[in-house]
Amino acid sequence: MTSGVLHLIPVPLGDIPPDGALPLATLTALRALNYFIVEDERSARRFLAAAAHPCAIRSLRIERFDKDSDASRARQVLQPLNQGISAGLLSEAGCPAVADPGALVVAAAHSAGLQVVPHVGPASMILALMASGFNGQQFMFHGYLPPGRDQCRAAIAGLEQESRSRNTTQIFIETRHRSDALLALILETCEPVTRLCVACDLTLPTQSVRSRHVRDWRRSPGAPLGRRPSVFVLYAR
Amino acid sequence: MTSGVLHLIPVPLGDIPPDGALPLATLTALRALNYFIVEDERSARRFLAAAAHPCAIRSLRIERFDKDSDASRARQVLQPLNQGISAGLLSEAGCPAVADPGALVVAAAHSAGLQVVPHVGPASMILALMASGFNGQQFMFHGYLPPGRDQCRAAIAGLEQESRSRNTTQIFIETRHRSDALLALILETCEPVTRLCVACDLTLPTQSVRSRHVRDWRRSPGAPLGRRPSVFVLYAR
């Protein structure tokens, strides 16, 4: 018997129709699957319905794999693939296994000799990098910076220094309610000539991208980011 | 008069139908534009025809911006946007302004106060990262490693060491005809427990992804990569 395939299926970055936000090849792959490994069952069902999955959503097999799941759980959720059933690994938003817990499932799939197929969809850090106009030949993604004010400030200064010395663009994210505090800390910490791009609500109708020197951000910081999902891109050169 | 908008339009990673590989939102944006800034006019025309652009392709305005173009040329190709004409920035493959010359055009657009809108499409380094199963919370993209054998070997050893000490996934690419030489050098240089993923022909019917420890690569290196476009992902932890 042929083993099942693990399909890595991206999810839109917000509440927009999946058939506009994902390529047809991704939608076709996901509509052919009856088994999904997801971070959150409820939002996964909502997404599958919005993506016009041809089966009754309640008839689909859905297993949870979230930030508290471990390698043993990863092997467990991959069991059906040994019986020839293919699975879709879904993220909550964006690409599975990038800045989300799914990488453990992908690693377990490789260990088990299963075929892994990544599909095209939105990746917020790449959209922000494209939109920044900064160096796209070398870049680093850091996920979240440390939470404490002093530690975060030290991290920002370190990334700025590294950007300058290695000519590399630095990308990081923040939980929604702390985006304005992080922006203020960056403007306090960085050199006036360092460049900062803040990309909000990427791919949504409310999308905005501002990319300028820190000195210009200080002069006119603009409207607060509020609770809009934001990606920060820093470049010192 | 309202200024034109700079749309960043990704292009499929190979010779596959654009309407399967790009989301409808990206296709809709590109079909509404009559002005394109491109790396190579001939392949851009071929792509626009394949993407079912509604106008006669020869009637579209197309300006070249390639690796030899500078910031002054970037300002020049953005001139029509001051007259209210929107433009699409195209890459040869994948996302414009990521590992391609387009970032200078995006930077010039921000300097001129123009709106920049990134669109969703394939990014080979993100597809490879997803498919690797390695750490997707922190990663670095390095573009091409240095060409000389000794320098390249030193770079590989440095990336491996950095991956271990910073718990970060390292991504890099190689020109097609040197992929097998790079693979051999990685297998020679890295520790047996370091993990290596090689993703070839991403999104194409011939796509393949192999992700395993260096010791397993050494035992069974598999078929040569040949001239297939390949992304290398390294993780030492």
Phi, psi at A112, each rounded to 5°: -85, 5
- H helix or E strand, kind and range, residue A160: helix A149-166
For A103, the closest of B20, B102, B133 (CB atoms) is: B133
In this complex, the residue of B103, B108, B110 whose CB is nearest that of residue A135 is B103
Residues from chain B contacting residue A131 (CB–CB below 8 Å): 8, 97, 106, 116-118
Nearest to A142 by CA among A112, A116, A163, A167: A163
pLDDT at B177: 87
- Give the model confidence (pLDDT) of A26-85 as tens digits: 999 999 999 999 999 999 999 999 999 999 999 999 999 999 999 999 999 999 999 999
By the 8 A CB rule, do A189 and A154 touch? no
- How many angstroms separate the CA atoms of B7 and B37, rounded? 10
Of A103, A118, A207, which has the smallest distance from its Cβ to B127's Cβ? A118
Residue B223, SS3 per DSSP: coil
| pLDDT computed for residue A99 by the predictor | 85
**Closest CA in chain B for residue A235:** B107
Question: Residue B99: its pLDDT value, please?
Answer: 85
Q: Work out the angle between the directed axes of helices A124-132 and B103-111 (0-180°, nearest 10).
A: 70
Pair A190, A234: CB distance under 8 Å = yes
Confidence of residue B124 (pLDDT cuts 50, 70, 90): very high
Written as one letter, the residue type at B208 is: S
Tens of pLDDT, residues A113-148: 999 999 999 999 999 999 999 999 999 999 999 989
Pick from A98, A134, A168: which is nearest to B130 by CB?
A: A98
Q: How far is A24 from chain B (nearest CA, A)?
A: 5
Buried (b) or exposed (e) across A146-162, using 16+ Cβ within 10 A? Answer: eeeeeebbebbeebbee
Under an 8 A CB cutoff, do A212 and B110 touch? yes
pLDDT of residue A1 exceeding 80 = no
- What is the rounded average pLDDT of the residues B69-85? 97
For residue A57, the 8-state DSSP code is: G
Pick the residue from chain A with its C-alpha nearest to B127.
Answer: A118
- One-letter amino acid of B225: L
pLDDT at B56: 96
How close, in Å, is residue B109 to chain A by CA atoms? Answer: 8
Position B103, amino acid: A
Question: d(Cα B59, Cα B143) in Å, to the nearest integer?
Answer: 35
Entry field: residues in chain A: 237
Evaluate whether A211 touches A166 at the Cβ level (below 8 Å): no
Interval A195-213: pLDDT, tens: 999 999 999 999 999 999 9
In A, minimum Cα distance to B125 occurs at A126
Q: Do B116 and A211 touch (CB under 8 A)?
A: yes
Q: Which two tokens stand for residue B134?
A: 């390695």
Interface contact flag, A132 B95, Cβ < 8 Å: no
The residues near B34 (Cβ < 8 Å, ≥ 6 apart) are B55, B59, B60, B61, B85
Question: Rounded distance, CA B117 to CA A94, Å?
Answer: 17
